[in-house]
Amino acid sequence: MRRLLATAALSLAVALATPARGATVYKWVDADGTVHLSSDKPPPGVKYERITVGSSPSRPPAKPSSASPAQVADRSSVLSSLKNRECVIALEALDRLTSGAQPTSAAEIKRLQQTAELNCSTDPARRREQEAMAAKLRVANSPSCVQARNLLADMLVPGATFSREQVRSQQQFVDDHCVPPVQ
């Protein structure tokens, strides 16, 4: 469901953007099944589909955009949010994959680095925020948080013998440490 929503959000962002006439968009799916859309070519070795967006020579030129300032601001906000999300996810994956806990390819590392370069902020303060969000995402996806969420679910089963204070304490832990900062 999360991948479907991400794909829909990316498709919406591309549809809302007013591309230059005949702009090329590259579409590819990574190893995790995430669909990527970009105006830049994907890393070498990645299978991709090339999509030409905009009017074709056989059709009349499109009318200039008559988007209101509010629509332009909304569009900008959505695109900024998507870039931030891609940045945080790429930073978290880079951290996880370079920790040596699981084998990974040099091509995947390079792809994630390119994704981070394209989407992460160049402003040092904003970049620190994005790195902090990536660290929080890594914790939220960790085995200890999976265990904490499972324990909370067990505590909420009808007939469980846990006190309200124990349940509140566990819920507080999950809320403080195990909620992903980006959806």
Q: What's the pLDDT tens digit per position in 78-136?
A: 888 889 899 999 999 888 888 877 788 889 999 999 999 999 999 999 999 999 999 88
User: 36-45, 61-70, 77-86, 160-169: which has the minimum mean pLDDT?
Assistant: 61-70
Residues of the chain with pLDDT > 70, as a percent, come to: 80
d(CA 130, CA 181) in angstroms, rounded, equals 10
Tell me the pLDDT band of 14, cut-offs 50, 70 and 90: low
* pLDDT tops 90 at residue 7: no
Mean local confidence (pLDDT), 69-77:
88
Report pLDDT for 20: 46
Which residue would you say has higher pLDDT here, 71 or 22?
71
176 Cβ contact partners less than 8 Å away, ≥ 6 residues apart: none
Report pLDDT for 150: 93
How do the domains of the chain map onto residue ranges? 142-183
Report pLDDT for 127: 93
State how far the alpha carbon of 38 is from the alpha carbons of 29, 79, 132, 167, in Å: 12, 12, 25, 45
d(CA 118, CA 182) in angstroms, rounded, equals 18
The pTM for the full model equals 0.53
d(CA 134, CA 137) in angstroms, rounded, equals 5
User: 37-51, 86-100, 139-153: which has the minimum mean pLDDT?
Assistant: 37-51
